């Protein structure tokens, strides 16, 4: 059956539909202006004592919060599945990743240190890392626990207090996450407010906020950066990406198609670093396209793809596909809105794509693999680099010289060679251009959450 969206006012209530069948998950009240201001005031009131808490003690508190989260992992995963359609095991994996991140920051925070400086032999010069103050964290729906855990963990263990606004697409997950973590922390150190764009705009415009940390769309990130110009808040943002995959002529086309399918179809394409556009060398293009279309057909036949987060997202994905087909792209698989309930969309492969087509120029955030054939690896790199985003990219090549060429020429924060989702634990990167600014993960996020004070100490002159 299909269920019409309830006619509630999104500025006062957030009603979420299960994207699998359209049934109502529940309704969460959006925070009022007074409640938002009260949450920030509570964070301010707690900031001085929390900043003066010993780093090792803050680490213990964060470990306790991680322990609490582990106790409620399945509960949060089930809520995530109901609100966003993410399969339960994948949702549980996201919660477990968040738990691991909190443990990681609980260890890293107490050893985050300053540096000694070389000065006069009878003086001491060094730096001290101090918390910035009140952090507003605005987090997305596509991996709500794991992403939030990174920002919240780094901020809290560094001595900041936090007001967290989770995405309005998964307010039940965000509210419950806040309750669970706050139980292990002093009052006021972590607050959660629910709401949509109006609540986010209010939070980002308040003068008493010291850090704005955002993971989400480029349009929202740019609005946050503009607001921070007026308030002086430090901005950390990981925003949209239009990540390219470049396939060289010396790789196995079947394996390359598996990599492309994984990058484009995992989590139904709803990953910041998903493969969004593909450039394949003409020498392997025919078998690559055949294998990629088969990968998509198999997923569609099995019904293994989860729904998109909601029908609004599906409409946007299909709009981009339809625009590109009208401009000359050829459908090898998918590209049709299925009948029946839910926000499902098939794995889609488009051939004969070209620069300027919507699916090549914009972040699609759906299970779409658009492919353009190129005559050389260098041409693939050139087209991959000609984009306003700068989040990540992948190259598949057996030539070390081509890998090094990609390192030198692709203006992205993360470059992956021969693995679309490869990376070591604790890695961090700086998004570029329209994809954001600042380190959003890893030990470097502790640097973003703190500010450096330089100290110079020397002896006074002896009294005559």
> How many residues in total does the chain contain?
464
Residue 3 lies in a domain: no
51 contact partners, CB below 8 Å, separation of at least 6: 130, 131, 159, 160
- Decide: 433 and 411 in contact? Cβ < 8 Å: yes
Question: pLDDT value at position 2?
Answer: 32
Shared-domain flag, residues 155 and 291: no
CB atoms within 10 A of CB 119: 13
Shared-domain flag, residues 133 and 206: yes
Shared-domain flag, residues 57 and 155: yes
Question: pLDDT value at position 9?
Answer: 56
Shared-domain flag, residues 408 and 437: no
Largest Cα separation within the chain, whole Å, is 94
Shared-domain flag, residues 67 and 154: yes
CATH value at residue 366: 3.40.309.10
- Decide: 192 and 177 in contact? Cβ < 8 Å: yes
In 3-state terms the chain splits into helix, strand, coil percentages (rounded to 5) of 45, 20, 35
Question: pLDDT value at position 462?
Answer: 85
φ, ψ at 362 (rounded to 5°): -120, 155
- Decide: 151 and 137 in contact? Cβ < 8 Å: yes
In whole angstroms, what is the distance from residue 44 CA to residue 63 CA?
23
Identify the residue whose tokens are 């069948």. 21
Question: pLDDT value at position 75?
Answer: 98
Shared-domain flag, residues 116 and 149: yes
Shared-domain flag, residues 186 and 279: no
CB atoms within 10 A of CB 282: 12
φ, ψ at 387 (rounded to 5°): -150, 150
Residue 256 lies in a domain: yes
86 contact partners, CB below 8 Å, separation of at least 6: 80, 94, 267, 306
- Kind and range of the H or E element at 144? helix 144-157
Rounded to the nearest 10°, the torsion over CA 34, 35, 37, 42 is 140
Domain that holds residue 143: 13-239+426-454
Number of domains forming the structure of the chain: 2
Residue 6 lies in a domain: no
Shared-domain flag, residues 328 and 444: no
Residue 128 lies in a domain: yes
- Kind and range of the H or E element at 129? strand 123-131
Residue 328 lies in a domain: yes
Question: pLDDT value at position 463?
Answer: 82
Supply 246's token pair: 């470049």
Shared-domain flag, residues 272 and 407: yes
Shared-domain flag, residues 399 and 442: no
- Decide: 51 and 131 in contact? Cβ < 8 Å: yes
Question: pLDDT value at position 10?
Answer: 56
pLDDT 10s digit of each residue in the chain, 464 long?
A: 233 344 455 578 999 999 999 999 999 999 999 999 999 999 999 999 999 999 999 999 999 999 999 999 999 999 999 999 999 999 999 999 999 999 999 999 999 999 999 989 989 999 999 999 999 999 999 999 999 999 999 999 999 999 999 999 999 999 999 999 999 999 999 999 999 999 999 999 999 999 999 999 999 999 999 999 999 999 999 999 999 999 999 999 999 999 999 999 999 999 999 999 999 999 999 999 999 999 999 999 999 899 999 999 999 999 999 999 999 999 999 999 999 999 999 999 999 999 999 999 999 999 999 999 999 999 999 999 999 999 999 999 999 999 999 999 999 999 999 999 988 777 788 999 999 999 988 999 999 999 999 999 999 988 86
In whole angstroms, what is the distance from residue 391 CA to residue 437 CA?
10
Residue 4 lies in a domain: no
Residue 362 lies in a domain: yes
423-429 CB contacts, 8 Å cutoff, 24+ apart: 425/104, 426/104, 429/392
Residue 165 lies in a domain: yes
CATH value at residue 142: 3.40.605.10
Shared-domain flag, residues 97 and 212: yes
In whole angstroms, what is the distance from residue 20 CA to residue 268 CA?
13
In whole angstroms, what is the distance from residue 162 CA to residue 179 CA?
13
- Decide: 246 and 377 in contact? Cβ < 8 Å: yes
Shared-domain flag, residues 270 and 168: no
In whole angstroms, what is the distance from residue 431 CA to residue 329 CA?
30
Supply 388's token pair: 């306003």
What is the strand order of the sheet 116-117 is part of?
116-117, 123-131, 450-458
- Tell me the Ramachandran region of residue 101: left when phi exceeds 0, alpha when psi lies from -120 to 50, beta otherwise: alpha
């Amino acid at each position: 059956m299909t269920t019409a969206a309830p006619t509630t006012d999104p500025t006062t209530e957030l009603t979420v539909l299960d994207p699998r069948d359209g049934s109502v998950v529940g309704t969460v009240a959006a925070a009022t202006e007074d409640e938002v201001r009260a949450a920030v005031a509570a964070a301010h009131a707690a900031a001085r004592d929390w900043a003066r808490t010993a780093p090792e003690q803050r680490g213990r508190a964060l470990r306790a919060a991680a322990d609490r989260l582990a106790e409620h992992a399945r509960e949060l995963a089930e809520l995530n599945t109901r609100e966003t359609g993410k399969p339960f095991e994948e949702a549980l994996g996201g919660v477990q990743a968040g738990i691991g991140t909190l443990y990681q920051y609980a260890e890293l925070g107490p050893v985050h240190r300053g540096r000694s400086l070389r000065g006069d032999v009878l003086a001491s010069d060094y730096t001290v890392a101090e918390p910035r103050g009140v952090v507003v964290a605005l987090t997305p729906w596509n991996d709500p626990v794991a992403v939030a855990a990174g920002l919240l963990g780094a901020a809290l263990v560094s001595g900041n207090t936090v007001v967290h606004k989770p995405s309005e697409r998964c307010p039940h997950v965000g509210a419950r996450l806040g309750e669970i973590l706050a139980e292990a922390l002093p009052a006021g150190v972590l607050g959660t407010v629910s709401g949509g764009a109006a609540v986010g705009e209010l939070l980002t415009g308040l003068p008493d906020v010291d850090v704005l940390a955002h993971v989400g769309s480029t349009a929202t990130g740019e609005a946050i950066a503009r607001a921070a110009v007026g308030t002086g808040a430090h901005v950390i943002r990981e925003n949209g990406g239009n990540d390219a995959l470049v396939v060289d002529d010396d790789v196995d086309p079947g394996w390359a198609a598996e990599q492309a399918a994984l990058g484009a179809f995992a989590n139904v394409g709803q990953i910041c670093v998903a493969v969004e556009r593909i450039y394949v060398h003409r020498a392997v293009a025919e078998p690559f396209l055949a294998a990629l279309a088969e990968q998509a057909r198999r997923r569609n036949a099995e019904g293994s793809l989860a729904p998109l987060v909601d029908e609004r997202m599906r409409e946007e994905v299909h709009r981009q596909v339809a625009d590109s087909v009208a401009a000359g792209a050829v459908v090898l698989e998918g590209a049709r809105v299925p009948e029946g309930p839910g926000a499902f969309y098939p794995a889609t492969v488009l051939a004969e794509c070209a620069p300027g087509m919507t699916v090549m120029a914009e972040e699609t955030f759906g299970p779409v693999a658009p492919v353009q054939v190129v005559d050389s690896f260098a041409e693939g790199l050139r087209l991959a680099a000609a984009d306003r985003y700068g989040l990540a990219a992948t190259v598949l090549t057996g030539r070390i010289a081509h890998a090094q060429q990609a390192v030198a020429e692709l203006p992205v924060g993360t470059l992956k060679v021969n693995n679309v989702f490869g990376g070591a634990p604790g890695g961090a990167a700086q998004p570029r251009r329209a994809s954001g600014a600042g380190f959003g993960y890893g030990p470097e996020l502790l640097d973003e959450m703190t500010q450096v004070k330089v100290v110079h100490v020397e002896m006074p002159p002896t009294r005559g």
